[in-house]
Structures are given as structure tokens and as C-alpha cells.
């Protein structure tokens, strides 16, 4: 009995808070909140500061040289006398490798995310996802070294066969799918069962032969290509797509996971197959997250410097013809990195400020695409919740 009452006593004591403790707690609360707030606002202020300081040093360039040369000319001779600051080819190169890497990384990344979230068993996914995310931990200079020392000579010496194999491996699954779907679609309207089956088989064979012909024809054309220089837009696009992949896979897999089990089961309950569930239910529901993942991945590719500096060849030219990924290009990031050392305020101001103009351009591009993606995400969410 005595022990029990003692316990009671202790408990009441624990709940009674002395005045001193209360003030201490108040102080701790205010201090903690204040600290968290200042850290959060510090991050926001940093973004504003970067914008301000980059813009402050970029504006003088346009004041000195105007806009037209920077955006329309491809003559980039900042060190020559007279200096010329035509950045069109450089802007074009940046967009080119970003587009190229997105072309490789987005389909691959989204497909891998679907595979991870809806197809692989949980036990495998647990290991596969961290392994893919490990790609993000590889420093970019290691990627650049790989691109320069291994991929570039490989492209030069075995570029044709390599392109052919890539074409075969990447395109043949899509070809098979297309053949099946096409012949299915062309025969659904026919009511006569026997005739339909005959026609179906006929179309399968016809399209099958056609696609095999196409595969081999394009393959031989690609086989014959001799790549002159291995440090080119293709090399950079491939490496950048590897670097963007972990972001795209990881974020879109999270988005697909967030769709939830109940929606998937609802779809199955309505009699949908797994493919139908993925394509018609899960992907639309997760599309805003996937879009965010894609934008993040593309930003990674646009802002990457080291790999591009090492492996793009850094030639200030618009390739000939304009879609030729097998020629050397130069990007905004690599130009900033490469020319910053020499371009001091003391040795010619336009040369210094032009790099900030490029930085501002990069900032503006990423800012706009972030805004656009935000808009699309919001709209998508509205549409989905409206239904």
C-alpha cells in the first residue's frame, strides 16, 4: 500500500511544472522555432541572392555588347582581339545534349520505375532501388573520365557496330509491340471469325517481315557510320542520361507507389489486366509525380558541368546538319567553367560579364521549366481530383 501511494505522489510531482521550468520551456520553444525559421528563410534568401548577384554581373554585358550578337552569332572568340561573344552555338549545344539525354533517360527511367513499382516482387525491389540510386553517388568527374577515356575511343573505333546494336536492342521490343497491336487493330472490325484469324496471321507475318527488314536496313546504315570524333554530343548525351536516371527512376517510382494499393485493386476488380491497370490507371494517377521526376532529371542534365567539359569536345559550332549528334559541341556550363579562370575583371570586362550572362540564361531556363512543371502538376492534380 505504502509503495503504491509513493508512486502516486511521484506521478503528480511529474505533472506539476515549476514556474522556472515553464519559462525555460518557453525560451527553448521560441529559440527552437526561431532557429528553424531562420534556417528556412536563409535558404530562400540564398536563391534570391544568387539571382541578384548573377544578374548584377550579367547586365553590364548586355549594356556593353547588346543582345543580338550574343543570341544570334556563333563566333565565340572571347580571348581574341577584337573579342567576339556569339553564344548561339553554345546555347544550342546545351539544349541539344539536354534533349538528347532526356530522349534516352526519360523512357528508360519511367520504364524502370514501372518495373520497380508494379512488376518486380517486393523482395527484389528492396535491393534494386538502392542499387539504382547508387548511380547518383558516383561523382561527375568519374563519369567524365569514363566518357573521355573509355566511351570516346569506343565510339571512334567501333561506333558503327555500337550504334547498330543499340538500335536493335532499343527498338526491337517496340517493333514487336507495334506489330502485334497494329495487326490486332486492323482485324477487330471483321465479324467472320475464320476470316479474321486468317487476316490476323497474314498481317502479323506482313508487319513482322516489314519490321525485320526495317531493323536490318537501318542497322546496316548505322553499321557503316564512321564516327570521326568520340567526344561529341552523343557521348555526352549518353553519360548525362546515366546521371539523370537515378533521379528519374527514384522520384517516379515514389510517385507510382503513392498511387496506392486500393486504386490498383479497384482496377483489377473491374476486370482489367495488369498492363491495362498500369497504362490506364496507375500511370495517369502518378503522372504529376513522373513529370516532376522528368523535370528534375532534365535539370540535372542541363546543369551538369564536369562531364560536359571533359567529353563534349568543346567546339563552339552548330553541328552540320543541325541534328548531327556525332559532332563536337560546347555547352553553357562548360564555357563558364573553362573560361572563368582567365576572365578576370581586370582583363577585359565584357569577357568577364558574358559568363554571368550565360549563368543568368541557365538560371532563367531552369526557373521557367520549374514554373511550367509546377503549373502542370497543379493542373493534373485538379483534373484527377475533379474526376
List residues binding another protein (CB under 8 A).
20-21, 24, 28, 74-82, 84, 89, 148-149, 152-153, 156, 228-231, 309-310, 313-317, 327-328, 330, 338-339, 341-342, 344, 346-348
Minimum distance, C-beta of residue 127 to another protein, in the bound complex (Å): 37
Residues 6+ apart with CB under 8 A from 300: 240, 243, 244, 247
Best CA proximity match to 100, nearest among 279, 260, 244: 244
CA–CA distances in Å: residue 352 to residues 60, 140, 329: 10, 26, 22
CB of 69 to another protein, least distance (A): 14
Nearer to another protein, 28 or 138 (CB): 28
Cis preceding-peptide flag for 10 (omega within 30 of 0): no
Helix (H, G, I), strand (E, B) or coil at 77: strand
Q: Which of 73, 116, 13, 41 is nearest to 317 (CA)?
A: 73
75 vs 257, which CB is nearer to another protein?
A: 75
CB nearer another protein, residue 231 or residue 281: 231
Minimal distance, residue 20 CB to another protein, in Å = 8
Beta bridge partners of 85: 76
Q: What is d(CA 370, CA 377) in angstroms, rounded to the nearest whole number?
A: 10
Please, what is the minimum distance in Å from the beta carbon of residue 171 to another protein?
29
In whole angstroms, what is the distance from residue 135 CA to residue 138 CA? 6
Residue closer to another protein, measured from CB, 31 or 185: 31
Q: What is the DSSP letter of 76?
A: E
Residue whose CB is less far from another protein, 244 or 310: 310
Of 15, 245, 8, the closest CA to residue 107 belongs to 245
Q: Which is nearer to another protein, 29 or 280 (CB)?
A: 29
In whole angstroms, the minimum distance from the beta carbon of 237 to another protein comes to 17
Residue whose CB is less far from another protein, 122 or 323: 323
Q: Toward another protein, which CB reaches closer, 57 or 253?
A: 57
Q: Enumerate residues 6+ apart whose C-beta is below 8 A from 110.
A: 248, 252, 290, 293, 294
Q: Residue 300 CB, nearest distance to another protein (Å)? A: 22
Q: How far is the CB of 84 from another protein (least distance, A)?
A: 8
Beta strands in 205-351 (DSSP E): none
Q: Are 355 and 335 in contact (CB under 8 A)?
A: yes
For residue 67, the 8-state DSSP code is: S
Residue 1 CB, shortest distance to another protein, in Å, is 24
Amino acid at each position: 500500500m505504502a509503495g503504491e501511494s509513493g508512486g502516486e505522489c511521484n506521478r503528480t510531482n511529474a505533472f506539476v511544472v515549476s514556474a522556472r521550468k515553464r519559462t525555460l520551456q518557453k525560451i527553448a520553444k521560441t529559440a527552437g522555432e526561431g532557429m528553424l525559421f531562420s534556417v528556412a528563410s536563409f535558404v530562400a534568401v540564398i536563391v534570391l541572392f544568387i539571382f541578384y548577384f548573377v544578374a548584377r554581373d550579367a547586365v553590364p554585358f548586355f549594356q556593353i555588347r547588346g543582345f543580338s550578337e550574343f543570341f544570334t552569332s556563333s563566333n565565340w572568340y572571347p580571348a581574341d582581339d577584337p573579342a567576339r561573344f556569339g553564344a548561339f552555338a553554345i546555347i544550342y549545344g546545351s539544349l541539344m545534349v539536354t534533349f538528347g539525354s532526356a530522349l534516352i533517360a526519360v523512357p528508360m527511367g519511367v520504364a524502370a520505375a514501372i518495373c520497380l513499382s508494379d512488376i518486380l516482387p517486393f523482395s527484389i525491389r528492396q535491393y534494386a532501388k538502392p542499387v539504382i540510386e547508387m548511380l547518383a553517388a558516383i561523382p561527375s568527374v568519374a563519369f567524365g573520365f569514363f566518357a573521355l577515356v573509355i566511351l570516346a575511343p569506343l565510339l571512334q573505333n567501333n561506333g558503327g557496330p555500337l550504334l547498330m546494336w543499340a538500335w536493335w536492342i532499343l527498338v526491337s521490343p517496340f517493333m514487336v509491340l507495334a506489330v502485334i497491336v497494329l495487326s490486332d487493330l486492323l482485324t477487330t472490325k471483321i465479324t467472320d471469325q475464320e476470316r479474321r484469324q486468317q487476316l490476323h496471321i497474314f498481317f502479323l507475318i506482313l508487319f513482322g517481315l516489314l519490321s525485320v527488314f526495317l531493323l536490318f536496313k537501318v542497322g546496316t546504315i548505322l553499321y557503316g557510320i564512321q564516327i570521326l570524333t568520340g567526344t561529341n554530343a552523343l557521348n555526352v548525351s549518353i553519360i548525362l542520361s546515366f546521371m539523370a536516371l537515378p533521379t528519374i527512376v527514384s522520384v517516379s517510382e515514389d510517385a507510382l507507389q503513392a498511387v496506392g494499393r486500393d486504386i490498383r485493386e479497384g482496377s483489377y476488380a473491374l476486370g482489367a489486366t495488369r498492363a491495362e491497370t498500369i497504362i490506364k490507371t496507375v500511370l495517369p494517377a502518378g503522372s504529376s509525380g513522373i513529370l516532376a521526376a522528368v523535370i528534375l532529371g532534365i535539370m540535372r542534365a542541363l546543369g551538369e558541368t564536369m562531364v560536359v567539359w571533359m567529353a563534349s569536345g568543346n567546339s563552339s559550332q552548330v553541328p552540320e546538319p543541325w541534328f548531327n549528334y556525332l559532332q563536337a559541341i560546347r555547352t553553357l556550363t562548360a564555357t563558364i567553367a573553362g573560361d572563368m579562370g582567365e576572365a578576370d575583371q581586370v582583363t577585359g570586362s565584357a569577357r568577364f560579364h558574358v559568363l554571368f550572362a550565360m549563368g543568368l540564361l541557365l538560371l532563367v531556363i531552369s526557373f521557367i521549366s520549374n514554373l511550367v512543371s509546377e503549373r502542370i502538376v497543379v493542373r493534373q492534380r485538379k483534373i484527377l481530383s475533379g474526376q
